[in-house]
């Protein structure tokens, strides 16, 4: 019987769901799941997840007491909502969930470490082991340094908003567990910058992740590569064989409903035979390479700004919802 693209992909790549929608995760049964501030904010507004939001808000109110103002209660709830979704997700997936540090801390190493400790403590209190959690951190130099400290403490990290080989090398040399190089956002940038369309193997996002994968396998880095941010299933099929791919429910559905042949494109054995020059990475080199890439500089900044804006929106939604709960007004959020 002919196989779907999703079946074939699962044979050579770990499939991860890129969503905060718990129902969608249950439908596709991925190994792992990833979330980000935008996904959590979107999920928090869906009626089916209102009990999770309300539960977190009421717990925060109970902990802080009646005298605390709504802003303080909403802020505490905000800090805990992603963990609440993470715990629900871990009831479905057999593997790991990625929970993201506040994007507004992306250039503050110590604050990132402190929030990562807080996230892990909350999962620890729920009886969830560290082997099931990835702390998601933006791939700034400061974020990578925070991840290096956390990994030495046995806290596993997922470096996100990664757009260039320089970020990938720095993350691998820091000993991080996993990186999430973006595909679709790179494609978006080049489409806008050049006015051209790119397809299949010529897609600059596909080229970037392929280069990172081959570099890692050539030099035996243990850090896993998880391609992320896809715009179409063609980008996914071009990266078949990558360690992991995190995919939206919409594209998972397309892969599941499509019959066709999907050859493996990325292969560690082939990568070992490639002539690839090793790059020594330090802060000076990192900064130079980052500033030299308009795409990486633009997309990292844009990604941090976008996730930060989503967090501001989420804080506002939680404050409004708390007021509704305490005034006994029917829910609208």
Residue 331 lies in a domain: no
Structure tokens at 44: 């928090």
| Residue 2: predicted pLDDT | 77
Phi (first) and psi of residue 317, to 5 degrees: -60, -40
Picking from 201, 175, 183, 205, the residue whose alpha carbon sits closest to that of residue 18 is 183
Residue 239 lies in a domain: yes
Picking from 300, 279, 291, the residue whose alpha carbon sits closest to that of residue 159 is 300
Which of the residues 62, 87, 88, 136 is marked catalytic? Answer: 136
| Residue 69: predicted pLDDT | 87
Helix H or strand E segment including 306: helix 294-326
Per-residue pLDDT reduced to its tens digit, 174-194: 999 999 999 999 999 999 999
Residue 333 lies in a domain: no
| Euclidean distance between CA atoms 178 and 22, whole angstroms | 23
Residues, the chain: 333
Residue 308 lies in a domain: yes
Indicate the number of domains in the chain: 1
Positive or negative: CA dihedral 38, 92, 158, 117? positive
| Euclidean distance between CA atoms 30 and 25, whole angstroms | 7
| Euclidean distance between CA atoms 100 and 203, whole angstroms | 28
Residue 170 lies in a domain: yes
- Domain span at residue 311 reads 5-326
Residue 159 lies in a domain: yes
C-alpha distances out from residue 29 to 8, 14, 63, Å: 15, 12, 35
Q: Work out the burial of residue 55: count CB atoms within 10 Å of its CB; fewer than 13 is exposed, 13-18 middle, 19 or more buried.
A: middle
235-267 exposure pattern, b = at least 16 Cβ within 10 A, e = fewer: bbbbbbbbbbbbbbbebbbbbeeeeeebeebbe
The DSSP output letter for 263 is -
Picking from 136, 194, 142, 135, the residue whose alpha carbon sits closest to that of residue 161 is 136
Residue 261 lies in a domain: yes
Per-residue pLDDT reduced to its tens digit, 127-144: 999 999 999 999 999 999
Active site residue 217: no
Virtual torsion, Cα 52, 57, 58, 64, nearest 10 deg: 150
| Residue 72: predicted pLDDT | 87
Residue 213 lies in a domain: yes
Q: Contact 333/320 with Cβ under 8 angstroms?
A: yes
The pTM score is 0.92
> For the domain that residue 319 is a member of, what is the CATH number?
3.20.20.70
Low-confidence ranges of the chain (pLDDT < 70): 328-333
């Amino acid at each position: 019987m002919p196989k779907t693209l999703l079946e074939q992909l699962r044979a050579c790549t770990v499939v991860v769901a890129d969503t905060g929608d718990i129902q969608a995760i249950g439908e596709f049964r991925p190994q792992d799941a990833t979330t980000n501030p935008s996904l959590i904010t979107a999920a928090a507004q869906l009626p089916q997840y209102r009990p999770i939001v309300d539960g977190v808000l009421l717990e925060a109110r109970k902990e802080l007491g009646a005298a605390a103002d709504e802003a303080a209660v909403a802020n505490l709830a905000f800090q805990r909502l992603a963990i609440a979704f993470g715990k629900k997700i871990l009831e479905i997936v057999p593997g790991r969930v990625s929970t993201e540090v506040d994007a507004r801390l992306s250039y503050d190493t110590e604050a990132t470490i402190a929030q990562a400790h807080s996230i892990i403590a909350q999962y620890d209190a729920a009886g969830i082991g560290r082997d099931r959690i990835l702390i998601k951190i933006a791939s700034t130099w400061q974020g990578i340094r925070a991840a290096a400290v956390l990994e030495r403490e046995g806290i596993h990290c997922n470096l996100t908003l990664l757009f260039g080989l320089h970020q990938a090398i720095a993350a691998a040399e820091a000993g991080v567990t996993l990186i999430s190089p973006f595909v679709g956002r790179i494609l978006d940038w080049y489409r806008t910058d050049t006015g051209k369309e790119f397809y299949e193997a010529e897609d600059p996002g596909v080229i970037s992740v392929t280069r990172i994968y081959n570099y890692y396998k050539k030099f035996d880095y243990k850090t896993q590569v998880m391609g992320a941010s896809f715009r179409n299933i063609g980008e996914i099929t071009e990266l078949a064989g990558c360690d992991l791919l995190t995919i939206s429910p919409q594209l998972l559905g397309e892969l599941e409903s499509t019959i066709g042949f999907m050859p493996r494109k990325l292969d560690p054995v082939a990568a070992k035979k490639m002539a690839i020059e090793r790059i020594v990475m330090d802060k000076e080199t990192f900064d130079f390479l980052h500033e030299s890439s308009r795409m990486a500089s633009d997309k990292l900044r844009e990604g941090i700004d976008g996730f930060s804006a989503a967090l501001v929106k989420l804080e506002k939604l939680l404050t409004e919802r708390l007021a509704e709960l305490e005034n006994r007004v029917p829910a609208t959020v």
